[in-house]
Structure 1
Amino acid sequence: MIKVKVSLRLIVSKINMPTVLKTAILPGDSIERLFIATQVGEIFYIRNGVIRTFLDIRPRIIKLGVSSGGYDERGLLGLAFHPEFYYNGLFYLHYSVAGTQGPGALPGAFESFMPNPCDPRTLNLRWINRETQYDHIDTVEEWILQPNGQPQKRRTLLNLRRPFLNHNGVNSLNFSPETGKLVLTTGDGGSGYDPFNLSQNDMEIAGKIIEIDVVKNTLIYNPPVVTRFNELPEPIQETLTVIAKGVRNIPGISFKRFYNHYIKYVGNVGQDLVESIFSFVHHKPIPVPQLIQASLMNSELDHEGFINFGWRGWEGAFPTSMIRGCPADPTLDEKTIAYYNEAVKTSVRRLQPLMSYFHKDPRPDKFGGTALTGVQPYLGNGIPDLTGSVVFTDLARDEGSHPPVRGILAYTRVQADCKLNDFSVIETDYNFGSRPAYFVSLGTNLDQSRLYLGVNGSMKVADFNQGTVFEIVP
């Protein structure tokens, strides 16, 4: 694949961690504006080169970075504008709620849980005492921009109890142009290796891609806090369908029109080996009442057309492995399959990735990645070499111990022969100087002809005013 070179045009700097970048046309306006949501709870938009505040919900957000040395994956995670936002003023938020801090489902297990294939107890853990053993509560809300220009909350769609502080999804709310429904991408609940196997359990809300029919009014304005679909009131169950399971953590879902269909692109963040991008066109979502009925009857669901990304048995195209250093040779690692039985069980039902890239890659023209942070199709003509491709970002290139840290911009193309795709680095000419530059988000405008990149000078959300947003230009 050809090497592509681009420039980064600075739009705004010295903001907090930019988690969502997307455009919308404000009611009464005539031009698309770029909206930027920060993890700490601010939403800005750019008008005539000036940054303006759209909404500030910082008081509603859980205290970030306190329990984990400044690092956090909670906060304001999703922002989506209703397809009719220009006319109805409706938009949607997903965030971690202030005052809901709990001790965690396995106290002290943030990112540190490791299964032991020799100890069945570690392979079959259950999340018990959920009402007291949890980390925080996430909420999905509907808001409206009032005629006086002030946003106001209208109702809560979901309240979700989460076991750990990580893997809550990011850029987690997007509207499907295919169905008109709100799509929520939620991670597996966190720690490492999905200790409770929530992502494969049909009743668990964690580790799924869910569609919410926002047209149906449930008349329930403050739903109960739940972890499982069967705990939801029936009117809410009837608004939900499940598109996919087997999700580890997702930087959103994106759609690309292809004749009369839409190709869906989903990035699944990896554990220790590999980052993966999946794509699918045809799928058969399962209504939540149907999922619950099958569970009550203990009957086998018709999974034909239901998407399964394979986690926790599979990490992309590989059986999920644990890596142990070799004492005799530090350059070598031993890789042990963590969940062999689950890898076998889900091997046929899972979707193969479109493209994967590795955390360690010896090939000279490739890179080692850390975590996938954005996936967007590019349909513009401004950068001809990228037209029709899928662009993605990774948090930080694995350079061993060579500072300063740099994120990665890269792209792939869809193969007609269905083979696993290759990918290529997109080179940027921007000089970040001696400061770290983590690539934390990737966004696009309404017709996918422009790309926006969110960069942060620190991995820690508690390090304020380190964020910068660029447009990716020729």
Structure 2
Amino acid sequence: MKRVTMMLSLLVLGLHLSFVHAHPQCLDFYPPFELPSDSQPFCDGYKDFGCCTLTQNEAIRERYQTLKRNLPESAAHECRNFLKDILCQECSPYAAHLFDAETTHRKTPLPGLCGGYCSSLYNTCPELIPLVTDDAAIIDAHNTNESAFCAAVEIGDMDYCYPNILQDTFLDDLAWDARSGGGDGCLCFEEFANGLRNPVLAVHANDSTHRLFIAEQVGIVHVYLRNGTRLNDPFLDIQDTVKTSSRRGDERGFLGLAFHPNFVHNSRLFVYYSTLSSSESEIIRISEFQTMSNDSNRVNMTTESVILNVEQPAGNHNGGQMLFDDQGYFYAFLGDGGRGGDPFGQYGNAQNLAELLGSVIRIDVDQQQEGLAYAIPPGNPYVSYNNSERRHEIYAYGTRNMWRCSIDQGDRQTGEGRGRIFCGDVGQHSYEEIDIIEKGGNYGWRGKEGFSCYDNTMCNDFLENEVLPIHAYPHTIGKSVIGGYVYRGCQYPNLNGKYIFGDYVSGRLFELNENTATQEWNSREFCLGDNTVCTGSMLGSFPKNILSFGEDEAGEMYLLSTSEAKTTVPQGKVFKIVDPRKRGNPEECLKDIRDVDVHGPTTPFEPSPSETFRCPKKCKGEYSEVDNTTYCDAKFVITGTVRKAQRFNNELRLTVNVDELHKKAYDLPAIHAGRRISISQYSRSGSCRCPNLEVGQTYFILGDFKSSWQKLILKESSIVKRYHWHHSFMIPRLNKECRALTMELFAKQFS
């Protein structure tokens, strides 16, 4: 009976097996979009969700008007309908599939036409075919007979043929999920820059030029134009002054860059870097520069003016973020001074308001007061105290090492959320956290790490003005948070309002969604699209070590990562984050672009060469057989059907329906027949999968368990066999032998 049930479930699954990777996709391989509700496009069937702008619709309308004059009067009405249908399929949300472009990357001359529709077209309007295509093969087939013509306009997957695609409820549901932000929500990535040595930031100047300034940790900042072209001459080069090393993971270096809100008029910018003082001690320096009077793409190196020097007692926890708020005040985020556990003084630097380390400072760089290169904003929380007891610059404190903070630009329509400062604060041994910065807030370190006590003597009544994180995650998930941005761009509306961040060690990407009713933030991990989703110039992977995130002038987000976190290794890359489900109307998303004068040579963007991996012909597990040794060594044994496979950087996460549970270790999470479980696979390249399981197939699986991650896993040596009925007959014997072996080992242990 179990085998009958299993076969029925496979039959049901197979009904839409060809649509496992189906998704809306335009001919440029980007997702569809919505047109304004009050617009009247020519291809009105695709107004709500399609691939043509109003300008493209007008071009199709003009072509239609030109071609319809050549249609026969005898069947003018029918032929005009056929003509409009064919011309408008470029606007279909499934245009890439209709024109068979998602696999070949070449558009077919005509959309794939279903048999009945093709026959009707051929017999009703034969004169139409030469008008809409000049493809020789199709014209020859058209001149031969109906069967030849209809065969010529078939596509690789006729499940997408027109007009049947319009009646497919499965595809209709997928399109609805894409429009509404449902579904798996995997991400793709578009390479923007490469060959960088630990790129640590990507910022814009807010001057309408849409340039992106990308900094390498060694102390060089490059200018990239909107199309990815790099100016050969660096914007800024202070590598002779910056203190860092080639040691992997060295946290010192060029760490921050911020442009003055009025940069377009005053040419001022600010930098944050590690260097040596006149006495050769290590310090953090915040300085101001100005660009050349005749070239806004180069800094005038003679204009450096030191704003602040802060002694750095150790080489780590250097902070580095700088921001300007809507009032024009300047924020800098300093680390706690380094080492581990903030060991400086009785309570550490972060809880010592007489020290700037471990705090967020807010100053006014447009004014100066006696003895300072800046002024203290009158609204700062400690201006009424003696400065030697509580530093007037401090805006918030109790931070360990905030690595990457950002200001929410607010909803594009309502402005909701504007001005909030989000930060990722790197943890010590157990937790990483995300915070929203509040005036006078105490973020708990070293009393607390995340929501938990770190120093029991400090984590309760000692922490006045305590502000808890909005989110924390344990080191089973990641070990070094990289703060990101609240997405407020135009191109990917389904991401609006989501705080996107990542982890340097695990290479995982996450989003936080705010529940405004409960004031809670809910976390979800992003999966990465496979090569059926991330096509064209889009990729479904990135180098594992996430270093930072960036935001351009249009509010689009970038991910900065490397495969080797050394300042001497040019493996760093910058990727634009892409949501392949839905995009904003292209005609509305890029406005107010100001040209910038470019002096000197440039280098156009060249994508990295495709990586090739030599995968083994057979996985290690394929050389092993199911016997009493391998069966008894396995932590769990099931017969299961793979329902879903999602990638999360170097992890492939399989959703498996347990058809039969044969064995499991006592310390494993609950596994029951009929229940869906998650099984993870890991690979360094992300390309070679051993064992290689296919969605929709049923397997006999001997798996393992990673207790520190609390995950069911498959190793390269794990035994996975396509299910065969004889596996069920092996189980009673193998279970009996395992029990006997266990009793024998138990007896030896206590003999």
Question: Does the alignment reach a TM-score above 0.5?
Answer: yes
Distance 1:203 1:240, change over 3 A: closer
C-alpha contact 1:11 1:469 (8 A) present in aligned 2: yes
Aligned: 1:247 with 2:395:
no
Q: Deviations over 1:158-199 (max 9, x none)?
A: 0111011111113x111112x211110001011111111100
Superposition pairs for residues 11-410 of structure 1, below 5 Å? 11-25=192-206, 30-47=208-225, 48-52=227-231, 53-65=234-246, 69-98=247-276, 136-149=282-295, 150-152=298-300, 153-170=303-320, 172-177=321-326, 179-196=327-344, 197-218=348-369, 241-256=393-408, 257=410, 258-259=415-416, 262-280=419-437, 283-284=438-439, 306-320=440-454, 339-347=455-463, 349-360=465-476, 368-397=477-506, 407-410=507-510
Pairwise CA distance, 1:142? 0.7
Instruction: Indicate how the Cα distance of structure 1 residues 269 and 351 shifts in structure 2: closer, same or farther if over 3 A, else same.
Output: same
* Alignment-derived partner of residue 460 in structure 1: 566
Equivalence for 1:445: 552
Any conservation in 2 of the 1:310–1:346 contact (CA below 8 Å)? no
Q: Distance in 1 between matches of 2:466 and 2:421?
A: 16
Listed one character per residue, the Cα deviations across residues 7-50 of structure 1 (whole Å, up to 9, x for unaligned) are 11011111111111111256xxx521111011100101112431
Compared with structure 1, are the counterparts of its residues 220 and 32 closer, same or farther at alpha carbon in structure 2 (3 Å cutoff)? farther
Output the amino acid matched with 1:140.
I
For the residue of structure 2 that corresponds to 1:271, the secondary structure is coil
Larger Rg: 2
Give the CA deviation at 1:98: 4.9
1:63-119 CA distance string (max 9 Å, x none)? 424xxx4431111011000001111100000111157796xxxxxxxxxxxxxxxxx
Map Cα deviations across residues 132-162 of structure 1 (whole Å, 9 max, x no partner): xx6x111100111121224233411001110
Amino acid across the alignment from 1:157 = I
Cα displacement (A) at 1:54: 0.9
Give, in angstroms, the shift of residue 347 of structure 1: 4.8
Q: Matches of 1:393 and 1:101 in 2, distance apart?
A: 38
Would you say the 8 A contact 1:2–1:424 is kept in 2?
A: no
Q: CA RMSD in A?
A: 2.9
Question: How many Å separate the matches in 2 of 1:259 and 1:388?
Answer: 9
What's the CA shift for 1:349?
2.9
Question: 2:559 matched to 1:425?
Answer: no
Q: Within 1, Cα distance between the matches of 2:391 and 2:474?
A: 38
Q: Are 2:354 and 2:391, in contact at CA under 8 Å, matched by a contact in 1?
A: no
Alpha-carbon separation, structure 2, partners of 1:352 and 1:250: 15
Q: Which has the higher helix share?
A: 2
**Once the two structures are aligned, what percentage of the paired residues are identical?**
29
Q: Residues of 2 paired with 1:213 and 1:4: CA distance?
A: 42
Whether contact under 8 Å (1:143, 1:155) holds in the other structure is yes
Q: Which amino acid aligns with 1:349?
A: N
- SS of match in other structure, 1:97: strand
8 Å Cα contact 1:137/1:160 also seen in 2: yes
Instruction: Please give the alpha-carbon distance, in whole angstroms, between the structure 2 residues aligned to 1:246 and 1:193.
Output: 12
TM-score where L is the length of structure 2:
0.45
Other structure's SS at 2:319 match: coil
- What residue is the counterpart of 2:185 in the other structure? 4
Is contact 1:454–1:470 with CA below 8 Å preserved after alignment? yes
TM-score (norm 1): 0.71
What SS is found at the alignment partner of 2:566? coil
TM-superposed CA distance for 1:374, in Å, is 2.2
Q: Secondary structure at the match of 1:87?
A: helix
Report how far residue 422 of structure 1 moved. 2.6
In 2, distance between residues paired with 1:100 and 1:4?
52
Query: 1:311, CA displacement in angstroms?
Result: 0.5
- Structure with greater contact order relative to length (CA < 8 Å, sep ≥ 6): 1
Gaps of 5+ in 1: 103-133, 224-229, 285-305, 321-338, 361-367, 398-406
TM-aligned CA distance change 1:348 to 1:160, over 3 Å = closer
State the distance in 1 between where 2:359 and 2:553 align.
25
How many Å separate the matches in 1 of 2:547 and 2:417?
33
Deviation at 1:201, TM superposition (A): 0.3
What is the DSSP-based 3-state SS (H/G/I as helix, E as strand, rest coil) of the residue aligned with 1:145?
strand
Shift of 1:420: 4.8
Cα separation, 2, equivalents of 1:74 and 1:246: 21
Distance in 1 between the 2:428 and 2:220 partners? 30
Cα-to-partner distance string for 1:351-392 (whole Å, 9 max, x where unaligned): 1111111111xxxxxxx1121122211012433332111111
In structure 2, give the amino acid aligned to 1:340.
N
What is the rounded CA distance, in whole Å, between the counterparts of 1:417 and 1:431 in structure 2?
35
DSSP-derived class of the 1:71 partner = coil
**Residue 420 to residue 314, structure 1, CA distance change in 2 (3 Å):** farther
Partner amino acid for 2:306?
A: T
In structure 2, stretches of 5+ residues that fail to align are: 1-181, 375-381, 530-538, 580-751
1:248 match: secondary structure: coil
Letter in 1 for 2:202: L
